Amino acid sequence: MSQSVPEPSSLRADRITMAYQDRIIGEDLSVDIADGRFTVIIGPNGCGKSTLLRSLSRLLRTRSGTVYLDGKDIHRSRAQDVAGRLGLLPQTAIAPPGITVFDLARRGRYPHQSILSRWSAQDEAAVHRALAQTEMTELADRPVDELSGGQRQRAWVAMVLAQESSILLLDEPTTFLDVAHQISLLDLFAQLNSDEGRTTVAVLHDINHAARYADDIIVMSHGRIVAHGPPVDVLTPELLAEVFGVEAVVIDDPVNGGPHIITRHRTRIPASVAPTREEAP
């Protein structure tokens, strides 16, 4: 191998085909997740964002192609080793009834424990750090199902942080939260990303949040990646019209810099959610 070639990113997909049973979601998809950067995935509902995260995190076996973690086929690595490297917060996570915040965070330590090992000082420290980072220390003894939506989401984030993985995959972590909680959570992810250099991949619905927080944006449509790059390069009126079916003006964000999207009006419903009546034979 030549030394001049830039080092491949730790997490990448090489021509993968993603499918559930006999339903193919995406074909021949390749992507490199840039190390240490904050990548945001956007795309219409049902375009395969969650499926991509599941494939990248070894939850879904790809039909063909390979996902590489540190240059190794992710399905040939030990599950617990992968888990120590890569943490996932799924889109719908429901805590068992009655479990406390501390208990939930504690379970994130699973990949660092073995059958016979006891709860160590290191485990304890990791959980404390995770609770402090998510500002959940005070609520540690409260049952998760009695918390507000924002607090509950933070409890789950604490669980993933306790895992101490260097790569974080977050599937719609801000959906269902009010705007203040969305921003405080995104600030937390941005801070973790810049302070600790954790590679972070998040699926978001708000394009302006994507523009504001992402180093890189991946735009998906119909199981394909249609654009991948810094927000300024990716978020063009043409792309927004093509993928989301919205007519938009892109201006300079007067407060934070970077692109800011203002939608004019809807031109058409994206094909992935449009009724297909006309196409029926």
Partner 1 sequence: MHDPVGATAHATGSRLVLALAGLTAGLVIAIALSLMVGTETVAPSRILAGLSGECDREATALLLHYRLPRTAIAIVVGIALGTAGALMQAYTRNPLADPGILGVNAGAVLGVTIAIATGVSLSVTTLAVPALIGAAFATVAVLLLASTGRGPATPIRMTLAGVALGAVLSGIATAMRLYDPSTFERHRSWAAGSVAGRQLDELTGIALLVLTGAVLALLLLRPLNAVALGDDVAASLGVNTRRTRTLTIIAVTLLVGAATAIAGPISFLGLMVPHICRLLAGNDHTRIVPLSMLVAPLVLVLADTIARVIIPLRETPVGIVTAFVGAPVLIWLVSGRRTNTQ
Ligand X SMILES: Nc1ncnc2c1ncn2[C@@H]1O[C@H](COP(=O)(O)OP(=O)(O)O)[C@@H](O)[C@H]1O
Residue 260 Cβ, how far from ligand X at the closest point, in Å?
24
Sketch the per residue contact string, 32 through 61, with ligand X: x for CB under 6 A, - otherwise: -----------x-xxxxxxx----------
Binding to partner 1 (CB under 8 A) within 30-59 occurs at 54, 57-59
Q: Which of 274, 226, 276, 220 is nearest to 47 (CA)?
A: 220
Shortest Cβ 45–ligand X spacing (Å): 5
Binder of residue 48, out of ligand X, Mg ion, partner 1, none (CB less than 5 to 8 A by kind): ligand X
Distance CA 11, CA 121 (A): 30
CA distance 64 to 24: 11
| Residues from 59 through 88 that contact partner 1 (CB under 8 A) | 59, 78-84, 86-88
* Closer residue to partner 1, CB minimum distance, 88 or 204: 88
Shortest Å, Cβ 22 to ligand X: 10
> Between vectors from CA 233 to CA 261 and to CA 55, what angle results, nearest 5°?
95
Per-position x/- string for 82-101, each x denoting binding to Mg ion as judged by CB under 5 A, each - no binding: ---------x----------
Q: For the chain, what is the total number of helices (H) and then of strands (E)? A: 9, 12
Q: What does the alpha-carbon distance between residue 65 and residue 93 come to, in Å, rounded to a whole number? A: 28
- Residues numbered 30 to 69 that lie near Mg ion (CB under 5 A) are 50
* Number of residues located near ligand X, criterion CB under 6 A: 11
Q: What whole-number distance in Å separates Cα of residue 281 and Cα of residue 272?
A: 18
Burial class (CB in 10 A: 0-12, 13-18, 19+), 144: buried
* 47 interface partner picked from ligand X, Mg ion, partner 1, none, CB below 5 to 8 A per type: ligand X
Query: CB of residue 266 vs Mg ion: minimum separation in angstroms?
Result: 22
Min CB(171)–Mg ion separation in Å: 6
What count of Cα atoms within 13 Å lies in the side-chain half-sphere of residue 111? 20
What, of partner 1, ligand X, Mg ion, none, does residue 179 touch, CB below 5 to 8 Å by kind? none
Work out how close the CB of 60 gets to ligand X at its nearest, in angstroms, rounded to a whole number: 9
Q: Does 17 bind partner 1 (CB under 8 A)?
A: no
Rule CB under 5 A: say whether 182 interacts with Mg ion: no
Q: Single out the residue of 66, 69, 109 nearest to residue 85, CA to CA.
A: 69
What is the secondary structure of 27-62 as a DSSP string? EEEEEEE-TTSEEEEE--TTSSHHHHHHHHTTSS--
